[in-house]
Amino acid sequence: MLRHNLHSPDTSTHPVMSSRHFTPAVTIREIAEEAGVSVMTVSNVLRGRGRVGEQTRRRVLDAVQRQGYRPNLTARALVERKAPTLALMLSCITNPFYPEFTLAANLSALKHERHLLVCNTDHEADRGTSFLQQVAGSLSDGVLVANYGDLPIDDLRALQQRGIPVVISVWERPDQPPGIACVTFDAKGAAKLAVRHLIELGHRRIGAIIGSPKHGIHSARFTGYQEVMREARIRRAPADERFTEDSYEGGYRAASDLLSSRPDLSAVFVSNDLPALGVLNAASDLGYSVPRDLSVVSITDIVPARQSRPGLTTVAIPTAELAEKGIDLLIALMNGNATDTTVVHTSTPELVVRGSTAPPAASG
């Protein structure tokens, strides 16, 4: 009869009980002992601080590699009284702009020996507020908000008043700072560049598709469009304008409606690249040839704008610079080297001409 020994399990055949699943983590003290140096020397080597000779540094790094040592970030945070992470808040991770922004922000954070803790609010203000309440000041020492989007500014100010550093990056109105430390770019100027390009090509029947409500996050871009049309003495009509969500689907629906009702338009200004890609496909489905029948211009210069056919003419904003300066400003705020109302400006947006714009067919 088969009998089970309940007191001495055979760990050689029991995968859960096998000792290889319980290898204890290597400590910094063990690395120091193997390398024949002090714990402080190991710490200085791993963090690139202090004056350590090359032979000693190599001996420590060899021990680290042999032992498979990984620093305990929680322990470090307790000793140094600072969290190892910075919080980054995004409104929609599926928008290609935000992964590009996050990549640049992460590289910048690593230079400051920090890691990013990313929250995607998915356009839900309650989710963002909950994240701020649970993470800010505990798991993270500071918060970078990429284009404040659906978050109430008052929530961010309240966080700031609790002594938690907050920075808004991709702030679109340099002339109207939010009362919170921010990194800004000239969104109105970007829109002016885009619309002037259409006018210089000879277009006079120009529509607009804006990826937000009229007074929403793209309002500065809409203002730029309005001002240039007025300067050029080109009549605008509400029937030539659509307001939609900042998405491919939003752009597709808005363009389908606009072009069906206003087939005389020769060009469309779109406030952002993602809806502009939807405009390109809607125009194609309606039988338009871009740019022969319709020119399309936008703002941002995300990677898919360079990959579309035709390539999307757009005004490139300094995405990497916005991310890097956002992290730098947040660190400066945390170190007392900036104020809660510091405004950092970025490079001027630049027009990038591709295949989606051309002179109107009537002018050859």
pLDDT tens figures, 238-279: 999 999 999 999 999 999 999 999 999 999 999 999 999 999
Mean pLDDT of 324-346: 95
Q: What is the pLDDT of residues 129-153, one digit of tens each?
A: 777 777 765 667 889 999 876 677 8
Mean pLDDT of 300-322: 97
Q: Are 307 and 278 in contact (CB under 8 A)?
A: no
Q: Which domains does the chain have, with CATH numbers?
A: 19-71 (1.10.260.40), 83-185+319-345 (3.40.50.2300), 187-316 (3.40.50.2300)
CA 175 to chain centre: 22
Tokens of 9: 């399990």
Q: What pLDDT was estimated at residue 83?
A: 59
Radius of gyration for the chain, computed over Cα atoms and rounded to the nearest angstrom: 27
Q: What pLDDT was estimated at residue 149?
A: 65
Q: What is the pLDDT of residues 19-68, one digit of tens each?
A: 344 445 678 888 888 889 988 888 788 766 678 888 888 888 888 888 87
CA dist., res. 173 & res. 70, Å (int): 44
CA dist., res. 29 & res. 39, Å (int): 6
Question: How much of the chain exceeds pLDDT 70, in percent?
Answer: 85
**SS3 for 44?**
helix
AA letter at 269: F
Rounded (5°) CA angle 87-89-92: 150
CA dist., res. 220 & res. 128, Å (int): 24
